[in-house]
Amino acid sequence: MITRLSTLFLRTLREDPADAEVPSHRLLVRAGYVRRVAPGVYSWLPLGLRVLRNIEAVVRREMDAIGAQEILFPALLPREPYQATGRWTEYGANLFRLRDRKGADYLLGPTHEELFTLTVKGELSSYKDYPVILYQIQTKYRDEERPRAGILRGREFLMKDSYSFDLSDQGLRHSYQLHRDAYVKIFNRLGLRYVIVSAVSGAMGGSASEEFLAEVETGEDTFVRSTESGYAANVEAVITPAPPARPVEDLPPAQVLHTPRTPTIDTLVDHLNKAGLGRTFTAADTLKNVMVKIRQPGAQDWQLLGVGIPGDREVDPKRLAASLDPADVALLDDADFAAHAFLVKGYIGPGALAAHGVRYLVDPRVVPGTAWVTGADRSDHHVVDLVCGRDFIPDGTIEAAEVRAGDPSPDGAGTLVAARGIEIGHIFQLGRKYTDAFALDALGPDGKPIRITMGCYGIGVSRLVAAIAEQSHDQHGLVWPREVAPADVHIVVAGKDETVRATGEQLAVDLDSAGVRVILDDRTATPGVKFADAELIGVPTIVVVGRGLASGVVEVKDRATAERTEVPVDGAVAHLQELCRK
């Protein structure tokens, strides 16, 4: 079917929408793909819906190819299953909650782990029924605090979520790998530039987890990558390479120094370098002890925790929280310090912590045999040459220090650089959190129950429209990869001459018969307006039917490269068919 701009429900805008922060939002609105209905809630106009459906089709094809079976859950869900797993409350304000006319509690599904688990429990019973992978492409709801960037972070959005159910950890790893391979195929087909980063999991609980991030400067997610290898990871997932432990023998003894007026690491280093100790200190030689308190899930009480990191780095709150997950973590307040008088603020050292049974975790760089300048647990005093493994024994290590550009890559190749991206996919070995909650067992060959283990795997389908637009546009408009474009060819009828009009019309009809998806600009607008709209809409191939006709040619322009070719009218259909087949 030919899409005629004379009747298409489309109005392009010359001006950027006032609330648009990022290019995809700006262009998807200007080109008439989406319209805002409420914060984070959008309508899809005809061209936008086509792109969305094209992406959906790619996702569906690759999911079917790994034997995943499509089902469809409602978005309106009863409270009970989410109550059973604790997510009714855990989700906090992110959950849209409502009551029906009888006063029963419902929610709009943010993810469907509970429903998938219960449904499998309802249908399957024997070990012979496993493994199974189920998926849906379905509308989800999250009451984001700050919906932003149009459809990039919406409150109503389309997701593909799949779940694998396996009898064993080995089976789960296989299902995980199937998804990983399928995701690579999907994102490659969609023409995306992306990285796969190690991720730590959020509220979902579990172990192995990777994120697919589309590389976009305006992305919300930060990650680091190696300058030399393919290594990439969420900042939360970066493992600090630890230096080898060194022997503690023959190291100088620790000595306590009077260090007045050294409230900061810088002033302390400065003081030490002027103290005539015969060597030069840097901030990296100091050990900063940050006091926090943590509370395990379900626990009432907070526990003190000391976190020791090299003084040249700050604590990264996200890395600290990820390392301590699922426990809550908070900095100590004045009341906490008052309650623990042995904590000499500004001069806390490992000694007082050990003496009072406070757990003490250190940065992985703090290995046995390393010597540190740190607090002496006495006002205005620090200790120098305090040796790990000799003068103090930490209770373990923790990834809490910030990751910096230039840090060595954990895989040993190159150094790390920071980058930004948009999360477009997430794969996750969820384990038995939900199967435990709902007692999902298979009856084994020996008649004994086998607790099922799960994986969960998401793709942000509507977000992908924006992610692709973010990566694929220029100053004139959108530049769609052919696989997702709302059409293959955009014919601009440039001129009011009857021959021009009739030729454009015939070309559209012939291309349509040949299975090429055509937009025909048959409006009465000026060629200038039509060219601008063609660039803005971003179909991969633009054909101009106009002055060239005098010499029997039409102009074929590649939207991405701006390359122009003159093609004889007679051979245009064959030429374009060939282009679209690529």
Distance between first and last Cα of the chain: 21
**C-beta of 212: minimal distance to a copy of itself in Å?**
25
- For 286, what's the count of Cα atoms within 13 Å in the CB-facing half-sphere? 29
Say if residue 326 is preceded by a cis peptide, omega within 30 of 0: yes
Beta bridge partners of 132: 165
Strands (E), 5-65: 34-38, 41-44
**C-beta of 57: minimal distance to a copy of itself in Å?**
12
**C-beta of 53: minimal distance to a copy of itself in Å?**
9
493, 526 in Cβ contact below 8 A?
no
- Cβ closer to a copy of itself: 307 or 518? 518
- Cβ closer to a copy of itself: 61 or 258? 61
- Cβ closer to a copy of itself: 35 or 295? 35
- Cβ closer to a copy of itself: 72 or 341? 72
**C-beta of 575: minimal distance to a copy of itself in Å?**
28
Say if residue 131 is preceded by a cis peptide, omega within 30 of 0: yes
- Cβ closer to a copy of itself: 26 or 382? 26
**C-beta of 132: minimal distance to a copy of itself in Å?**
6
**C-beta of 494: minimal distance to a copy of itself in Å?**
20
Rounded alpha-carbon distances, angstroms, from residue 208 to 48, 176, 239, 427:
35, 9, 14, 8
373, 281 in Cβ contact below 8 A?
yes
- Cβ closer to a copy of itself: 78 or 202? 78
**C-beta of 76: minimal distance to a copy of itself in Å?**
5
What is the rounded CA–CA span in Å between residue 511 and residue 578?
11
Q: Which residues bind a copy of itself (CB under 8 A)?
A: 1, 7-11, 32, 35, 37-38, 41-46, 49, 52, 64, 67, 69-78, 93-94, 96-98, 100-101, 104, 106, 108, 115, 119, 122-124, 132, 134, 139, 141, 143, 145, 155-156
- Cβ closer to a copy of itself: 147 or 308? 147
Q: How many other CB atoms are found less than 10 A from the CB of residue 217?
A: 10
- For 511, what's the count of Cα atoms within 13 Å in the CB-facing half-sphere? 32
φ, ψ (nearest 5 deg) of residue 458: -125, 150
The residue type at 459 = I
**C-beta of 43: minimal distance to a copy of itself in Å?**
5
Nearest residue to 422 via CA among 581, 220, 257, 197: 220
The residue type at 447 = G
511, 573 in Cβ contact below 8 A?
yes
The residue type at 346 = G
**C-beta of 545: minimal distance to a copy of itself in Å?**
22
- Cβ closer to a copy of itself: 32 or 477? 32
- Cβ closer to a copy of itself: 90 or 566? 90
DSSP state of 253: P
**C-beta of 44: minimal distance to a copy of itself in Å?**
4
- Cβ closer to a copy of itself: 32 or 431? 32
**C-beta of 438: minimal distance to a copy of itself in Å?**
14
The residue type at 240 = T
Residue linked to tokens 């001459």: 497
The residue type at 80 = E
Report CA Rg, the chain. Answer: 30
Angle between helices 169-189 and 46-65 (to 10 degrees): 140
- Cβ closer to a copy of itself: 44 or 480? 44
Q: What does the angle CA 152 – CA 158 – CA 162 come to, to the nearest 5 degrees? A: 115
What is the rounded CA–CA span in Å between residue 168 and residue 130?
10
> What token pair was written down for 478?
């959108």
**C-beta of 12: minimal distance to a copy of itself in Å?**
10
3-class DSSP state of 4? strand
- Cβ closer to a copy of itself: 20 or 284? 20
